[in-house]
Structure 1
Amino acid sequence: MEEIRARHNFEGCLVVDSVGRSGGLCMLWKSNTSCTLIGYSRNHIDLHIMDVNGEWRLTGFYGFSERHKRRDSWNLLRRLAGISSLPWFIIGDFNDLLDPGDKQGRVHHPNWLFEGFRSATLDCGLSDLPLHGYPFTWSRGLNSNNFVEERLDRGMAFTPWKTLFPNATLCSLLAPMSDHTPILLKCQGLQPPAHHKRFWFENKWCLEPNFPHIVCDCWTNLRGITITERLTAVSDSISTWAAHLRRNEQADKTRLQKKIQSLQGRHDTLSMQQKQSARKELAAVYLREETHWKQQAKQHWLKDGDYNS
């Protein structure tokens, strides 16, 4: 797991070793998330998370697969629920089903297992997060008459966690080799308040022939207001025009590239003229792009030298 951590640029890694060829848990996190270990066992890893959305709690869970140990899984859930009052999300392979709709196939699932797991989640105050995609996350014997599919993997949360992440979604992915389907939680928190974007003058605007007219017309049409209000109104007008210009630039670039490609190999006079005209227009688009990136990269020191001032 340390090799995987380094390969994928994770900062933190906590591993609960497997026993023989069974079990084994791992939790990894990036540098933009602060994680503090609350506790762990062979069946769970419990973390206190601090990120841009605030403080919350994440538990990775693995339930006992043996039926005679299911009560141990349910009691572990109850103990975990009482540890902290933080907004809580728990995700993993619970090896349990909440209701008959979590299963299809011929193998019978006893009612006492449904009722026991459902009772444990109610005692903990947990509710299921809907799963987008194929509803069953584990399968066996799909090429036989005794096939069975079940939703063993799920994510559940306290109500305060759902308030903290109102747009969170849980998706099932594809796994070509495993009998389990990976599930992906997308934590979309509350949207931060919108900030007015700072106006930034673009040098490439000076290459546009109609740019001086836009500024002049807007400035002269605004009378009877302060100079600050006038400047704000002009910058807003330019920003709207610039957004439209950016969309047109990308469309023009794609259109001209396709036109030149379609004219390649044609040597008649009309095609040669059209290709020359298209190349000239494309060169102007590239010049505006280059001017933009030069300004973004602040490349003046390449030309003028760096005085360490």
Structure 2
Amino acid sequence: MIVYSWNCRGLGNPQTVQSFCRMVKDKRPSLVFLMKTKVTSKKVRCLPLKLRMENMFVVDCRGKSGGLILLWKSSALVEIQNFSCGHINAVVKEPNGGIAWKLSCFYGHPEVQMRPQSWSLLRHLATLTPKPWLCLGDFNEIVSSSEKSSHTVRPRGQMASFQKVLDDCCLLDLGFTGPKYTWCNGRLGNGITRERLDRAVANKEWSGSFDVVSVEVLPRTKSDHNPLLVFFSKNNEMSWRERRQFRYEASWEKHQEYSQLVKQVWRTRNNCELAWRKVQNNLEYCQRAFQKWVRKEGGKVEDQIVKKERELQLLQMQEDNFDIDKENQIKDELQNLLQQEDLKWRQRAKENWLQSSDKNTKYFHASASQKHRRNVV
């Protein structure tokens, strides 16, 4: 399941709605939580149709401020429990007899003097059932000075109060990948301020109920806040597309960008408080990075070989202004692709690997094809 959370700062701008609909279409979340919508339910009656979501719950704005919206697909069994101008609390039941867990979509009060009321609300939500609890949104507060980049200093008392309410409610930060700061005031020079105001937290009962949990900070476009994308699932409850086994290709190691890609993924900030979850998240992010990288590089190795061969052919057909350096470059690239293809079929055939000088790709291709036929029932 995927949950999308965003402080959109108003849905009155058509460009904001267009950007938001495109993001939802691309990420395909099951639930969507919007804050500071600045609209009433009458203004967003067509929103579920645009997003292809069957259900919507709206907390109307007050004047030109506030406003919350929770949308969800029919595949998600959601029951609204209570709400206010700063939260929507619901019970989500996993399909096929799965667990029921509590979802608190939270918006911390923007005024500092009213912040204690938000923390009191959070403590009250902690007492409600069911026990497994996911809470996400814009808390309008940070837990430490490391979550702020500015020339001004955040009062320690404010940060300590936020950390205390998280501790009292037994809520742990789920970490994130992507930009560290989720809010920016958009000013230039020394006046710029960036903070991590948006986050997803959960108790151990909720985190332990799922095999895969990750939080991605998406790019900031039409708002001063970055959206959050929370993904979680059990391995036996994944869809067919999600359940397809990821297969690491040893041929990727032949590519020049391989080492740089792996280092970049593992150096990405992952502020998860649980060490084992941090390692699990990094492995998952590495898998996603490989999948995106393969698509970016042109898909299958066989297609790239055909493309390079055609490129070399066209170059060699030139009678004037022939570039020998370009020819050697293409040949080297073609040779590298051929090595990748050979390595791929050796790995898939699961035969004893021959020495690098033996390029018997046809044998390994036939062996892998025969193995595939044996696996078909």
Residue-pair matches, total: 211
Query: CA offsets, 1:30-53, max 9 Å, x none?
Result: 111111111111000111111235
Instruction: Name the CA shift for 1:257/1:104 in 2 (closer, same or farther; >3 Å).
Output: closer
**Structure 2 CA distance for aligned equivalents of residues 180 and 72 of structure 1:** 23
**TM-score, length-scaled by structure 2:** 0.51
Which residue of structure 2 lines up, in the alignment, with residue 204 of structure 1?
A: none
Which residue of structure 1 lines up, in the alignment, with residue 105 of structure 2?
A: 60
1:43 pairs, out of 79, 86, 91, with 86
1:179 partnered with 2:224: yes
**Structure 2 CA distance for aligned equivalents of residues 251 and 179 of structure 1:** 41
Which residue of structure 2 lines up, in the alignment, with residue 84 of structure 1?
A: 129
**TM-score, length-scaled by structure 1:** 0.62
Greater Cα radius of gyration, structure 1 or 2? 1
Shift of 1:12: 0.7
- 1:71-110 paired onto structure 2 within 5 Å: 71-110=116-155
**Structure 1 CA distance for aligned equivalents of residues 144 and 304 of structure 2:** 53
Instruction: Name the CA shift for 1:85/1:8 in 2 (closer, same or farther; >3 Å).
Output: closer
Query: CA offsets, 1:51-97, max 9 Å, x none?
Result: 23531111110000101001001101000101114311000000011
Shift of 1:124: 0.7
**Structure 1 CA distance for aligned equivalents of residues 193 and 210 of structure 2:** 34
Which residue of structure 2 lines up, in the alignment, with residue 119 of structure 1?
A: 164
Q: Structure 1: which 4+ aligned runs deviate by more than 3 Å?
A: 190-193, 250-264
Say which SS state the counterpart of residue 71 (structure 1) adopts. helix
**Structure 2 CA distance for aligned equivalents of residues 64 and 184 of structure 1:** 22
Which residue of structure 2 lines up, in the alignment, with residue 11 of structure 1?
A: 54
Unaligned runs of 5+ in 1: 194-249, 265-309
Shift of 1:10: 0.4
Answer whether contact 1:164 1:190 (CA < 8 A) is retained: no
Percent of pairs identical after alignment? 31
Instruction: Name the CA shift for 1:253/1:117 in 2 (closer, same or farther; >3 Å).
Output: closer
Instruction: Name the CA shift for 1:41/1:253 in 2 (closer, same or farther; >3 Å).
Output: same
Which residue of structure 2 lines up, in the alignment, with residue 152 of structure 1?
A: 197
Say which SS state the counterpart of residue 233 (structure 2) adopts. coil
**Structure 1 CA distance for aligned equivalents of residues 206 and 302 of structure 2:** 46
**Structure 2 CA distance for aligned equivalents of residues 192 and 67 of structure 1:** 42
**Structure 1 CA distance for aligned equivalents of residues 305 and 149 of structure 2:** 52
> Structure 1 stretch 181-190 or stretch 123-132: which is displaced more?
181-190
Shift of 1:253: 7.7
**What letter matches 1:24 in structure 2?**
G
Answer whether contact 2:119 2:162 (CA < 8 A) is retained: yes
